[in-house]
Amino acid sequence: MFRQAVYVSTELTDQPFFASALRMMGWSLIPYAQLDHALNHLRTKPSSALILHAPLEGITLTQDLVDRIQRAGDTSIVILGVDDLRDNRNQRVVPEPVTAADLATSLSALVPTDGGFVLHDLLQSDTFESFTQEAVGYLISRSAASQWEPGQVLFRQGDAGDTMFFVLTGEIGLSLGGMELPSLHSGSLFGEMSMLQGTPRSTTATALESTVLLEVPASVVEHADAEFRAVLFELISRTLMQRLSHSNEFVSSIEEAEVVEFAEGVGETVSEAIFIDESELSEGEVPPAGPV
């Protein structure tokens, strides 16, 4: 079960990325290019929120107009891309530049997550298979979404760290001492050991594409009940085991590549060593036998 939000934008160019990020948090976006069509939808199929992404063709979003839209749609509203309106009980305003993380945070503030909603993609992923709906609801309601663009560095090896991250959408690259490690995708967890142990970051983390993360501060774990912490530590243990397995495979692949490279180099050296130009031999001299 998803919560539905009606998304109105003249261009609709950002809708696919927004939809991908929000789906991991239990939201389904219904896109419309025209406001009147969106309001007709809300009259017949109520939704949890209405998202207005300015500029809308032929429409100037004033507070009076937004109030009338809110009453007509009977739903909470998130307004993207304006800076002359303010938050209130029924609306959240996100000025430019708009990110999927800002949108996710605004929706969470207007429509708090609870255990009554199945956060489909999170619960279906291997990462969250042990989590209950209530546990995921607790996690999301006390964490913050953040968006990172390609090439942005989240943290560097040796940095202090008091948060851990879940990848909602996108891809994160990890490197250790300049060596590239396997990258992380939707549902992946990282940064947990620094948060729990208070140790420096052991790797450098960089966004490889537009990526939305759920950033979990240490206080979420500290203030959680025993059941939540038990499930989280089970998840962390499983993640560490998978990471160890992947690391072993990664090291093995490097060693195999080095063996092949060494063997090829030895083969070239031997070939050079046994090659003899017979034209350089003295008359009657016999070439030495090759290796057997």
Which residue in 26, 7, 228 sits closest to 125, CA to CA?
26
Beta bridge partners, 208, equal none
Superfamily name with CATH number, domain 3-119? Response regulator (3.40.50.2300)
Find all residues with CB under 8 Å of 1, minimum gap 6, and list them. Answer: 117, 118, 120
Domain boundaries, the chain: 3-119
Looking at this protein, which amino acid is placed at residue 78? Answer: V
φ/ψ (deg, to 5) at 208: -95, -15
pLDDT given at position 247: 56
pLDDT given at position 164: 92
177: helix, strand or coil: coil
pLDDT tens for 209-262 read 989 888 889 888 888 888 888 878 887 777 777 666 655 555 554 455 444 454
pLDDT given at position 238: 75
128: tokens are: 């969250």
Cα separation, 283 vs 278, whole angstroms: 10
All residue ranges of the chain with pLDDT < 50 are 115-120, 253-254, 257-260, 262-263, 266, 269-271, 273-276, 290-292
| pTM value surpassing 0.75 | no
pLDDT given at position 275: 47
Which residue in 121, 143, 155, 125 sits closest to 242, CA to CA?
125
Sign of CA dihedral 252, 255, 259, 264: positive
| Edge-first strand listing for the sheet containing 144-148 | 144-148, 211-217, 163-169, 189-190
Helix axes of 226-274 and 133-141: crossing angle, nearest 10 degrees: 80
